[in-house]
C-alpha cells in the first residue's frame, strides 16, 4: 500500500466552478440553434515530478470546436494509469461544463510528495461522455507522466561479532547481522539482496556453522517486500569434536534486484566479520584403545624390556596431531609428574595410556589397564661327559652310571635318551643307565627342566657318554656264514668248511674250527676234515694269537641224503587217439614227478601213474624221483599212439555190363567214403567171380546182371590195432532201363553213384531223380560240399550238429557250419567247446581244464626277434644284407622254432647263411631245431634291390615250443629309403556279384557289381579285379597283383576258376602278373568262387609292385576289398520259404516269399501275416493274401533297416493235405540283410 499526503482544495477553485455552471445554463437554452459540437482533450503540460516539497504539477484542457451561444456541454472523464490518487496526486473533479463563456476548461493536477521508492508513474485521463456534442475520437485521451525523486539504500550492521562452540545444550553463543532499508519499498515487488561469505573466511558454512532460517531470509538471499525495512541474519555455531583454531565468517552483500532504485552500503571486512571460538582439545576425547590380543606375559631372557606402545591400537602414531601417547602407573593422570619418561619398561606392573597435548594444556582419560608380567626361565645346569664299558662282566670297568652325578647347578627336571647305537633308557629314581652287553659308541642323554612359567620355556642340556669295549681281545665276533652255500647234500659233501665263512678274520685273529662249542680251543678239527668234512656239526671261531683268547662260535651242521632212483617205468600204447597211462616206481619215500621234457619245463604231475587224456600222437614223457631235495635224473617213458586203420567205409554203387549204355569199368577205390588205410580188394560174392585188377578196377562188360560183393581188408595195422574188413555191393545191369523207377537210367545212376535198384539211395524220403534235378550232368548239391543231394540225406544228421547232411557242408564236422553249437573240440583237449563254455573253461586252451592233456603246451617262453640292414639308403640295383637275430630270453631250451622271413617283391634273393637251422626260400621259413637258454642264433640274407618295391622286409616268429607269450618282440621290420618316381598311379578296384544261371567268366554284361553281396550257402560269386593305369607315364610294366584264395572247403570262399584279359593269374600263389599297361589302359581279372559255408568273408586284392614303382601319396588306391555275407538256406515247408532275404536288387533272394509247394505240387492257400520290428511295431501287414511275394523290405515307402524281424502267419489251406491242419498259425523270425 502506498502512503500519500492529503491536500485541501482552495476557495478559488469553488468559485470558478460556480461561474462555469451559470454560463452553461445560459448557453444551453440556445443549443438547438447551434452547429454540431466536437469535444477534445489535450495537454500542453504533461510532465510532473516530486521535488522535495516544491511540487511540479501538470494540467490538461477539455475544449469544443464551436462556441454556440447558449449551448452547454457537460463533459465527463475517467482517471487511470500507474499513479494512485490521494497517494501520488491530489484529487480533482471528473466532469466539466463548456458554454459560450467557457468553451474550454483547463484542469491542473497537483503532485503529492512522499518517501516511497516507487519509480516513475503515469496518470491517464480519458473522455467518457458529453451531455451534447460528440467526443473527438483522435483526441479522446491524454497521459501525464509523474517522476519519482526517491532512492532506497540497504545498510549492513554486525550486532554480535563473537560466536563460540558451547557443549551445554541451549547455551550456544551465536553471531548476528542486521540489514536495513532506509525507505519503504513502494515498487509493488519485493526487492532481494543476495549475500555470501567470502573466500577469506576460515570457517566453513554447514561444517562450522549454519545460517539460521528466518522470515524473509533464504540460504543466500534477503527479501524486502512492501512494509519490511529490516531483516536479521543469525550465525548458529556447530559444536564439533575437532580441535581447531578460532575461525572467521565474513558476510558480503550482493547487488539488489533493482539497481535503478536501490543500492547497498556495507562496512569494511572488519565490520562484517564474526569470529568463532573452538572448545575442543587437540588430544581428543577418546582414550587410547588397548590391543587385547597381545601377550602381556614375557620371559627374560630373551625379553629384557617391553615397549608399552605396542599394546595400543596404532601405536604412538595413533595420537591426534598436537598430542602424544604417554604412559602412567596412575589411572587418569592430571599432572606431567604422573607420566613415565618413555614407553619402555623392564619390570612387571600395571600401566595406563593417555593422549597428552604437547603443550600440556589438555589430555584424555586413561586407557584400560595393561598388566605386564616378566618371568625368568629355570637353568638346566652344567654337565660332565664320561666313558663306560659295554662288557658283560665288570672285570674290564664300570658299565653303568647315575645320570644325576654328571650334572650340577640344575633346576628340577627329567632325563631322557636322545641318541646312540641302540636305545638305552634311564631307569629308576637315580636315572641309572646300564651298558653291559650294549653296542659300543656315543650315547647322548638330555636333561630338561620342568618348572618354566609361560611364556618362558623349559631349557635342556645334554651329556655325552662314550661306551666302548674294554676287552682288548681281537676275537670279539663270531664268523659270518654264507647262507647261499647248501648244508644238505645228496650222496656226498662237495664243499669245505671254509666255504661257509664269508668275510675276512678281524686283524690279529685266525679262523679255527672245533667239534665242541664248550671247549673250542681244546677240540680242534683236523685240517683234512676242514677241506673234506664228514656229516656232523662244526663250530667256527676267531682266535687272538697275541692275547691267546677265543671269540664266540658259529655253528655249521652238514647233512648227507641219498639220491632216490627211478627203479622201473612202463609206457603205454593204444590204437588211435585217446587216454594213455604211464607208470613208474622209485626208491622208498621218494616223490615221483612227471615232465614233458628231459630237462627244464614245468612239472605236469606227481605220483606213480600219470594219465594223459586225448593224446593224438606218440610222445615222450620224463619221470624223476625226489626226496630230501635230492632229485634223480629223468627217465624217458614213451606213450605210443599207433594209427588206427580204416577200411574206408565203402559205399554201394552200380555199374553197367553193356558199354553201349554206360561205363562198364568200375574203380572200387572210388567207393570209399573216407580215406582208407593200405589194403587189398577181393571178390566175395556175385553171379560170377570177377576179380579187380592191380588198380582195383573191375570190368563188368558182358557179365551177368546182378549184385557183386567185394571185400576190402587193411594190411598195415600195428598191435594193439587190428586190420579191418569192409564190403561193398555193386549193382550191375545193362543200364538201358530204369529198374528202380526213380527217373534215372541205370547208366546215369552208375555215373552218379546212386543205387539203380533203389529209388531213394540216401533213404531220406526223396526220389533220386528229384534230388539229382533236371540236368544229371550237373546234379544238385544244395550245400556245395561235393556230395550230390541224391547221396546227401535230407533227414540224417551225421555229426549231430543240428543241420541235416544235405544242408551241411561238413557232414562229419560238427563245427561246420556253426562252430558255436557246443559240439566242437577246437583245442583238442577231449572236451567239446560247448561243454567247456558251460563249465566256464576256455575252449581255445588245451591246458584248461586238464594240464595233463597231451596237447597242453608247457609254460610259455620269450623269444626276441631283431633285424638290421647294412645299407638303409639303397637304390635299385644295390645288394643289401639283412641280418636276423633271434635271442632266447628264457632260462630254458626252446625247440622247433620257425621264423617267417619272406622277401617282398622289391628284392631278388641272392643267398643266405645261418648260424643254426635251415632256410627254405620258397616258403620263407627259417627252421631252428633248438635255442639254448639265453642263446642267440643269426641268419644273413643277401638280396638285390629291384625297381618297383615294396622295400619293407619283415621277420616274424611263427612257431616255437613252448609257445611265446610276449608278442611285443616277436616281429622286426626294416624299410629301405628308396627314391620313388613321380606321377605313377595304378588304380585297383574290386567288386563281387552273385552268379546267375547264364553268368560265365569274361562275359561282359551289365551285371551289378558291388563291394558287398549277400548270397546263400551253395551259391557262387564272381570277383572282378580291375587295374587302370592313371599314370602320367606312357606305360607301367611288371605289375604284380596279389589276391590269395583257398581251395579248402572250410575257408568260406573256395576257388573254382579264373580268367584274365591281360597277363596270367596263378591261383596257387594268388599272384596276377600283368606284363604292361599303357596310359589309361585297363586290365580285368575275374575269379569264380564257391560258397560252401555260412559266414562273412572278405577277399582283398592289392598291387604289390610295378616298374616304375607307385609314387608316394598314391598308395590308397592300390588295395580293395569285397565282402561276401553268406547266409544259410532254410528248409522249405508250407509257409515262408526262407526266413532270410536281402532286398538289394541283385536279383537273388530280393523279396520274402511264401512257399506253396508240397511234394512237387502247388497247394492253394490263403494267408494273413503281420511283421514286427524288434520294438514290437508293425512294419508290414497283409490280409487274405495269395501272392507268392509277401514283403519287399520297405516300410512307409522307405527301406526298412537291417536286422531281425518277427512274424505271425495265419495259414489256411484251400484243400485237404495229408499231415497238415487246414488252418495253422506260425510264428518265427526273419533276418533282413542288405
User: Which positions ≥6 away from 1218 have C-beta within 8 Å?
Assistant: none
Residue 341 resides in a domain: yes
Cα separations (Å) of 884 from 905, 936, 955?
19, 11, 7
Q: What is the CATH number of the domain that holds 386?
A: 2.60.40.10
Least confident range from 180-184, 591-595, 635-639, 945-949: namely 945-949
Rounded to an integer, what distance in angstroms lies between the CA atom of residue 227 and that of residue 2?
A: 10
Q: 156 and 266 share a domain?
A: yes
DSSP string, 482-539: -TTS-SEEESS--S-GGGGEESPPPTTEEEEEES-TTSTTTSBPPHHHHHSPPSEEEE
458 alpha carbon, distance to own chain's centre? 57
**Same domain for 121 and 163:** no
- Position 769 scores a pLDDT of 86
Indicate the residue among 626, 642, 658 that finishes a domain. Answer: 642
Instruction: Say if residue 1136 is in the same domain as residue 1224.
Output: yes
Which of 1043, 1044, 1027 minimizes the C-alpha distance to 1106?
1027
In this structure, the answer to whether residues 817 and 874 fall within a common structural domain is no
| Residues sharing a CB contact under 8 Å with residue 405, sequence separation 6 or more, in sequence order | none
Lowest mean pLDDT among 145-149, 228-232, 706-710: 145-149
Note whether 725 and 632 are same-domain residues. no
Q: Which of 20-34, 105-119, 347-361 has the highest mean pLDDT?
A: 347-361
Distance, in Å, from the CA atom of 917 to the CA atom of 922, rounded to the nearest integer, reads: 16
Helix (H) or strand (E) holding 174: none
Spatial contact of 243 and 284, defined as CB atoms under 8 Å apart: yes
Q: Chain-centre distance of CA 312, in angstroms?
A: 57
pLDDT of residue 78: 94
pLDDT given at position 810: 66
User: What pLDDT, on the 0 to 100 scale, is given for residue 19?
Assistant: 46
Least confident of 98-102, 369-373, 905-909: 905-909
Residue 1108 lies in a domain: no
Q: Is the dihedral of CA 197, 198, 200, 205 positive or negative?
A: positive
Name the pLDDT band for 30 (thresholds 50, 70, 90). very low
CATH number of the domain encompassing residue 196: 2.60.40.2030
* 273, 168: one domain: yes
CA–CA separation, 241 vs 436, rounded Å? 84
Is residue 1092 a part of any domain in this protein? no
Spell 973-1005 as b/e; 16+ CB within 10 A means b: ebebebebbeebbbbbbbbbbbbeeeeebeeee
pLDDT of residue 950 exceeding 70, the answer is yes
Count other Cβ atoms within 10 Å, centred on residue 1204. 12
Read off the pLDDT band of 3 (50, 70, 90). very low
* 1067 lies in some domain: no
The pLDDT assigned to 27 comes to 43
Tally the domains of the chain: 10
**Rama region for 629: left / alpha / beta (φ>0; ψ in -120 to 50; rest):** left
Is the separation of the CB atoms in 830 and 853 below 8 Å? yes
Among 586, 619, 642, the domain boundary falls at 642
Strands 501-502 and 536-544: unpaired
Residue from 866, 886, 869, 882 nearest 938 by CA: 886
Residue with cell 526273419: 1230
Question: What's the mean pLDDT in 544-562?
Answer: 92
Confidence category of residue 52, pLDDT binned at 50, 70, 90: low
Q: What is the pLDDT of residue 120?
A: 86
Pair 676, 604 in one domain: no
DSSP characters for 902-962?
PPPTTEEEEEEEESSSEEETTTTEEEEEEE-TT-EEEEEEEEEEPTT---EEEEEEEEEES
Domain finish residue from 916, 951, 978: 978
Cell of 494: 662237495
Could you report the per-residue pLDDT of 65-107, keeping only the tens digit for each? 988 888 888 999 999 998 888 888 889 999 999 998 889 999 9
Assign 35 a pLDDT band (cuts: 50, 70, 90).
Answer: low
d(CA 1127, CA 1018): 10
CA torsion, ordered 749, 754, 758, 759, to nearest 10 deg: -70
The predicted structure's pLDDT at residue 1001: 60
pLDDT at 627: 92
Q: How many residues does the chain have?
A: 1234
Q: Which of 534-538, 808-812, 1138-1142 has the lowest mean pLDDT?
A: 808-812
- Range with the poorest average pLDDT among 423-432, 658-667, 916-925, 997-1006: 997-1006
Cell of 1221: 491242419
Identify the band that residue 917 occupies on the pLDDT scale cut at 50, 70 and 90: confident
Confidence of residue 741 (pLDDT cuts 50, 70, 90): confident
* Average pLDDT of the segment spanning 1028-1036: 84
User: In this predicted model, what pLDDT tens digit does every residue of 501-536 receive, in sequence order?
Assistant: 999 999 999 999 999 999 999 999 999 999 999 999
CB atoms within 10 A of CB 697: 14
Give the lowest-confidence range in 22-36, 612-626, 766-780.
22-36
Q: Which of 84-93, 686-695, 802-811, 1167-1176 has the highest mean pLDDT?
A: 686-695
Whether residues 185 and 273 share a domain: the answer is: yes
**pLDDT recorded at residue 1131:** 53
Query: How far is the C-alpha of 1168 from the C-alpha of 344, rounded, in Å?
Result: 114
Indicate the pLDDT class of residue 845, thresholds 50, 70 and 90: low
Q: Is residue 1021 part of a domain?
A: no
Query: Does residue 252 share a domain with residue 193?
Result: yes
Residues 77 and 139 placed together within one structural domain of the fold: yes
- What integer is the mean pLDDT of 1186-1195? 89
Identify whether residues 140 and 45 lie together within a single domain: yes
pLDDT for residue 15: 45
Q: Looking at the structure, do residues 554 and 451 belong to the same domain, yes or no?
A: no
Q: What is the mean pLDDT of residues 166-178?
A: 70
Confidence band (pLDDT; 50, 70, 90) for 1002? low
The answer to whether residues 991 and 887 touch, using CB atoms and an 8 Å cutoff, is no
Residue 627 lies in a domain: yes
By DSSP bridging, strand 578-586 and strand 566-570 are antiparallel
- Give residue 661's pLDDT: 81
The whole-number pLDDT of residue 662 equals 82
Whichever domain contains 973, its CATH number is 2.60.40.1510
pLDDT at 497 over 90: yes
Instruction: Give every strand in the sheet of 1165-1172, ordered side by side.
Output: 1140-1141, 1223-1232, 1203-1213, 1165-1172, 1178-1185
Residues 768, 786: Cα–Cα separation, whole Å: 16
Residue 16 belongs to some domain of the structure = no
What was the pLDDT predicted at 1221? 73
| Higher pLDDT, residue 625 or 55 | 625
Is the confidence at residue 1150, as pLDDT, over 90?
Answer: no
Q: pLDDT category, 998, cuts 50, 70, 90?
A: low
pLDDT at 20: 45
Cell of 702: 558182358
Q: What is the pLDDT of residues 331-367, one digit of tens each?
A: 999 999 999 999 999 888 999 999 999 888 888 899 9
Instruction: Tell me if 508 is assigned to some domain.
Output: yes
- The residue segments making up the domain with residue 344 are 297-375
Please, which pLDDT band fits residue 200 given cuts at 50, 70 and 90?
Answer: very high
Residues 7 and 13: beta-carbon distance below 8 Å: no
Average of per-residue pLDDT across 937-965 = 86
Of the chain, the end-to-end C-alpha distance in Å amounts to 118
DSSP H/E element including 714: strand 706-714
- pLDDT exceeds 80 at position 25: no
Query: Would the pLDDT of 557 be above 90?
Result: yes
pLDDT of residue 396: 80
- Which pLDDT value is given to residue 514? 95
Amino acid at each position: 500500500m502506498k502512503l500519500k499526503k492529503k491536500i485541501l482544495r482552495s476557495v478559488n477553485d469553488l468559485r470558478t466552478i460556480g461561474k462555469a455552471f451559470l454560463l452553461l445554463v445560459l448557453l444551453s437554452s440556445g443549443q438547438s440553434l447551434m452547429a454540431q459540437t466536437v469535444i477534445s482533450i489535450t495537454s500542453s503540460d504533461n510532465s510532473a515530478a516530486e521535488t522535495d516539497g516544491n511540487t511540479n504539477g501538470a494540467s490538461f484542457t477539455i475544449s469544443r470546436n464551436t462556441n454556440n451561444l447558449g449551448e452547454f456541454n457537460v463533459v465527463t472523464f475517467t482517471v487511470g494509469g500507474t499513479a494512485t490518487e490521494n497517494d501520488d496526486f491530489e484529487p480533482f473533479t471528473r466532469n466539466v461544463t463548456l458554454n459560450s463563456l467557457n468553451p474550454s476548461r483547463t484542469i491542473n493536477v497537483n503532485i503529492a510528495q512522499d518517501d516511497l521508492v516507487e519509480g516513475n508513474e503515469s496518470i491517464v485521463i480519458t473522455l467518457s461522455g458529453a451531455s451534447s456534442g460528440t467526443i473527438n475520437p483522435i483526441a479522446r485521451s491524454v497521459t501525464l507522466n509523474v517522476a519519482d525523486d526517491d532512492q532506497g539504500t540497504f545498510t549492513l550492521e554486525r550486532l554480535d561479532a563473537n560466536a563460540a562452540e558451547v557443549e551445554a545444550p541451549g547455551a550456544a553463543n551465536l553471531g548476528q547481522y542486521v540489514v536495513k532499508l532506509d525507505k519503504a519499498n513502494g515498487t509493488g515487488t519485493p526487492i532481494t539482496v543476495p549475500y555470501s561469505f567470502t573466500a577469506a573466511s576460515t570457517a566453513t558454512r554447514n561444517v562450522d556453522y549454519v545460517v539460521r532460517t528466518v522470515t524473509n531470509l533464504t540460504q543466500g538471499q534477503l527479501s524486502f517486500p512492501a512494509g519490511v525495512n529490516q531483516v536479521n541474519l543469525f550465525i548458529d555455531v556447530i559444536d564439533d569434536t575437532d580441535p581447531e583454531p578460532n575461525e572467521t565468517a565474513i558476510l558480503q552483500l550482493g547487488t539488489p534486484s533493482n539497481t535503478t532504485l536501490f543500492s547497498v552500503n556495507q562496512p569494511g571486512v572488519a565490520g562484517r566479520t564474526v569470529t568463532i571460538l573452538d572448545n575442543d582439545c587437540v588430544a581428543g576425547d577418546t582414550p587410547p584403545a588397548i590391543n587385547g590380543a597381545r601377550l602381556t606375559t614375557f620371559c627374560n631372557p630373551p625379553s629384557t624390556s617391553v615397549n608399552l606402545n605396542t599394546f595400543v591400537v596404532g601405536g604412538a602414531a595413533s595420537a591426534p596431531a598436537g598430542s602424544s601417547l604417554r604412559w602412567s602407573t596412575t589411572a587418569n593422570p592430571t599432572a606431567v609428574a604422573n607420566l613415565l619418561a618413555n614407553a619402555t619398561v623392564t619390570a612387571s606392573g600395571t600401566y595406563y595410556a593417555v593422549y597428552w597435548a604437547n603443550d600440556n594444556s589438555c589430555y584424555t582419560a586413561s586407557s584400560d589397564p595393561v598388566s605386564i608380567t616378566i618371568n625368568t626361565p629355570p637353568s638346566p645346569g652344567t654337565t660332565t661327559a664320561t666313558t663306560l664299558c659295554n662288557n658283560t662282566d665288570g672285570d674290564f670297568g664300570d658299565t653303568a652310571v647315575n645320570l644325576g652325578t654328571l650334572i650340577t647347578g640344575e633346576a628340577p627336571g627329567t632325563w631322557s635318551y636322545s641318541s646312540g647305537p641302540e636305545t638305552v633308557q634311564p631307569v629308576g629314581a637315580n636315572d641309572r643307565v646300564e651298558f653291559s652287553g650294549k653296542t659300543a659308541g656315543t650315547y647322548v642323554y638330555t636333561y630338561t627342566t620342568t618348572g618354566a612359567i609361560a611364556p618362558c620355556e623349559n631349557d635342556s642340556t645334554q651329556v655325552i657318554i662314550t661306551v666302548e669295549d674294554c676287552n682288548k681281545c681281537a676275537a670279539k665276533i663270531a664268523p659270518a656264514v654264507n647262507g647261499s652255500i647248501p648244508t644238505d647234500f645228496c650222496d656226498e659233501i662237495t664243499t669245505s668248511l671254509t666255504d661257509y665263512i664269508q668275510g675276512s678274520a678281524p686283524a690279529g685273529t685266525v679262523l679255527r674250527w672245533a667239534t665242541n662249542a664248550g671247549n673250542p680251543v681244546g677240540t680242534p678239527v683236523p685240517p683234512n676234515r676242514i677241506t673234506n668234512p664228514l656229516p656232523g656239526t662244526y663250530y667256527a671261531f676267531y682266535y687272538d694269537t697275541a692275547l691267546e683268547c677265543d671269540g664266540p662260535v658259529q655253528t655249521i651242521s652238514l647233512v648227507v641224503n641219498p639220491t632216490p632212483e627211478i627203479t622201473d617205468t612202463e609206457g603205454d600204447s593204444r590204437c588211435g587217439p585217446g587216454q594213455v597211462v604211464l607208470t613208474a616206481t622209485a626208491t622208498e619215500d621218494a616223490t615221483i614227478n612227471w615232465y614233458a621234457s628231459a630237462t627244464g619245463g614245468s612239472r605236469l604231475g606227481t605220483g606213480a601213474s600219470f594219465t594223459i587224456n586225448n593224446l593224438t600222437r606218440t610222445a615222450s614223457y620224463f619221470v624223476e624221483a625226489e626226496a630230501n631235495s635230492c632229485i634223480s635224473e629223468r627217465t624217458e617213458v614213451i606213450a605210443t599212439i599207433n594209427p588206427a586203420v580204416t577200411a574206408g567205409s565203402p559205399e554201394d554203387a552200380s555199374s553197367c555190363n553193356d558199354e553201349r549204355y554206360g561205363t562198364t569199368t568200375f574203380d572200387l577205390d572210388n567207393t570209399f567214403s573216407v580215406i582208407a588205410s593200405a589194403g587189398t580188394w577181393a571178390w566175395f560174392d556175385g553171379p560170377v567171380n570177377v576179380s579187380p585188377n592191380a588198380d582195383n578196377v573191375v570190368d563188368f562188360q558182358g557179365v551177368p546182371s546182378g549184385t557183386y560183393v567185394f571185400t576190402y581188408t587193411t594190411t598195415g595195422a600195428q598191435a594193439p590195432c587190428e586190420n579191418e574188413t569192409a564190403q561193398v555191393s555193386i549193382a550191375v545191369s545193362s543200364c538201358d532201363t530204369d529198374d528202380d523207377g526213380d527217373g534215372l537210367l541205370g547208366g546215369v545212376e552208375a555215373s552218379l553213384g546212386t543205387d539203380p535198384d533203389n529209388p531213394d539211395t540216401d533213404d531220406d524220403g526223396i526220389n533220386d531223380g528229384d534230388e539229382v534235378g533236371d540236368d544229371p550232368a550237373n546234379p544238385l548239391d544244395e550245400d556245395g560240399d561235393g556230395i550230390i543231394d541224391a547221396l546227401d540225406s535230407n533227414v540224417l544228421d551225421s555229426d549231430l550238429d543240428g543241420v541235416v547232411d544235405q544242408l551241411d557242408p561238413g557232414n562229419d564236422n560238427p563245427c561246420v557250419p556253426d562252430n558255436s553249437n557246443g559240439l566242437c573240440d577246437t583245442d583238442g583237449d577231449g572236451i567239446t567247446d560247448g561243454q567247456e563254455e558251460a563249465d566256464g573253461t576256455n575252449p581255445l586252451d588245451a591246458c584248461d581244464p586238464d594240464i595233463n592233456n597231451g596237447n597242453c603246451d608247457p609254460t610259455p617262453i620269450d623269444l626276441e626277434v631283431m633285424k638290421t640292414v647294412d645299407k638303409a639308403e639303397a637304390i635299385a640295383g644295390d645288394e643289401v644284407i639283412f641280418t636276423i637275430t633271434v635271442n632266447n630270453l628264457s632260462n630254458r631250451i626252446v625247440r622247433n622254432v620257425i621264423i617267417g622271413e619272406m622277401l617282398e617283391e622289391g628284392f631278388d634273393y641272392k643267398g643266405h647263411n645261418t648260424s643254426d637251422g635251415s632256410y627254405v626260400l620258397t616258403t620263407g621259413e627259417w627252421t631252428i631245431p633248438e635255442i639254448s637258454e639265453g642263446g642267440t642264433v643269426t641268419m644273413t640274407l643277401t638280396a638285390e634291390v629291384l625297381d618297383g618295391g615294396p622295400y619293407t622286409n619283415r621277420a616274424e616268429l611263427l612257431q616255437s615250443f613252448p609257445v611265446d607269450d610276449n608278442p611285443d618282440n616277436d616281429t622286426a621290420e626294416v624299410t629301405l629309403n628308396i627314391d620313388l618316381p613321380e606321377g605313377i598311379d595304378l588304380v585297383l578296384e574290386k567288386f563281387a556279384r552273385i552268379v546267375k544261371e547264364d553268368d560265365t567268366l569274361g562275359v561282359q554284361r551289365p551285371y551289378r557289381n558291388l563291394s558287398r553281396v549277400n548270397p546263400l550257402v551253395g551259391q557262387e560269386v564272381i570277383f572282378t579285379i580291375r587295374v587302370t593305369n592313371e599314370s602320367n607315364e606312357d606305360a607301367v610294366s611288371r605289375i604284380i597283383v596279389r589276391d590269395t584264395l583257398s581251395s579248402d572247403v572250410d575257408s568260406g570262399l573256395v576257388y573254382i576258376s579264373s580268367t584274365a584279359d591281360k597277363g596270367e593269374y596263378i591261383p596257387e600263389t594268388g599272384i596276377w602278373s600283368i606284363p604292361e599297361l599303357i596310359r589309361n589302359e585297363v586290365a580285368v581279372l575275374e575269379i569264380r568262387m564257391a560258397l560252401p559255408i555260412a559266414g562273412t568273408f572278405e577277399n582283398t586284392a592289392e598291387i604289390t609292385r610295378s616298374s616304375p614303382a607307385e609314387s608316394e601319396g598314391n598308395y590308397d588306391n592300390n588295395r580293395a576289398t569285397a565282402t561276401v555275407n553268406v547266409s544259410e538256406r532254410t528248409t522249405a515247408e508250407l509257409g515262408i520259404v526262407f526266413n532270410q532275404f536281402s532286398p538289394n536288387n541283385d536279383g537273388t533272394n530280393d523279396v520274402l516269399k511264401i512257399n506253396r509247394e508240397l511234394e512237387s505240387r502247388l497247394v492253394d492257400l490263403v494267408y494273413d501275416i503281420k511283421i514286427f520290428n524288434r520294438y514290437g511295431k508293425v512294419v508290414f501287414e497283409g490280409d487274405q493274401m495269395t501272392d507268392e511275394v509277401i514283403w519287399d523290405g520297405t516300410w512307409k515307402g522307405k527301406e526298412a533297416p537291417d536286422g531281425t524281424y518277427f512274424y505271425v502267419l495265419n495259414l489256411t489251406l484251400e484243400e485237404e493235405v495229408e499231415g497238415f491242419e487246414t488252418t495253422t498259425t506260425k510264428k518265427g523270425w526273419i533276418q533282413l540283410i542288405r
